[in-house]
Amino acid sequence: MFLPSADEFKASPHWSKNIRVIDAHAEGEVGRVVIGDGFDVPGATMMDKLRHLADVDDSLTRFALFEPRGCAQMTANLLFPPTRPEAQAAFIPLQPDGPHAMSGSNAMCVTTVLLETGILPMKEPFTEVILETPAGLVRTVAACQNGKCKNVTLDMFPSFVEHLDHPLEIEGHGTIHVDVAFGGCYFALVDAREFGFSIVPGEARDLVALGAKIGRAAREQIPVEHPMQGGVNKVEYALFCARDGKNIRNGNVIHPGRMDRSPCGTGTAARLAVMHARGDLKAGIEIQSGSIIGSAFAAEITGAAVVGHRKAVITKLRGRAWIFAVSSIGMDPSDPFQHGYALSDTWGPNA
Question: How far is CA 300 from each of CA 193, 233, 244, 254, rounded to the nearest angstrom?
Answer: 24, 26, 16, 24
Check for a shared fold between 17-155+323-347 and 159-317: yes
Q: In terms of Cα–Cα distance, which of 93, 94, 25 is closest to 291?
A: 25
Enter the CATH code of domain 17-155+323-347: 3.10.310.10
Closest of 55, 46, 242 to residue 137, by C-alpha: 46
H helices of the chain, in order, are 46-55, 59-65, 104-116, 204-221, 265-277, 344-347
Round to whole Å and give the CA distance between 1 and 314. 55
Sorting pLDDT into bands at 50, 70 and 90, what band is 114? very high
CATH assignment of 159-317? Answer: 3.10.310.10
Q: Contact 186/180 with Cβ under 8 angstroms?
A: yes
**What is the model's pLDDT at position 293?**
97
229 confidence band (pLDDT: 50, 70, 90): confident
Integer angstrom CA distances of residue 120 from 108, 111, 128 = 14, 9, 10
Query: What stretch of H or E contains 311?
Result: strand 310-319
> How high is the pLDDT of residue 43?
95
Sequence ranges of the domains in the chain: 17-155+323-347, 159-317
| pTM for this prediction | 0.92
Which residue in 103, 159, 262, 291 is the catalytic one?
A: 103
Is 103 considered catalytic here?
yes
Helix (H, G, I), strand (E, B) or coil at 62: helix
Tens digit of pLDDT for each residue in 198-228? 999 999 999 999 999 999 999 999 999 998 8
> Cα-Cα-Cα-Cα dihedral of 271, 275, 277, 278, to 10°?
140
**pLDDT given at position 270:** 97
Give bridge partners of residue 166 from the DSSP assignment: 178
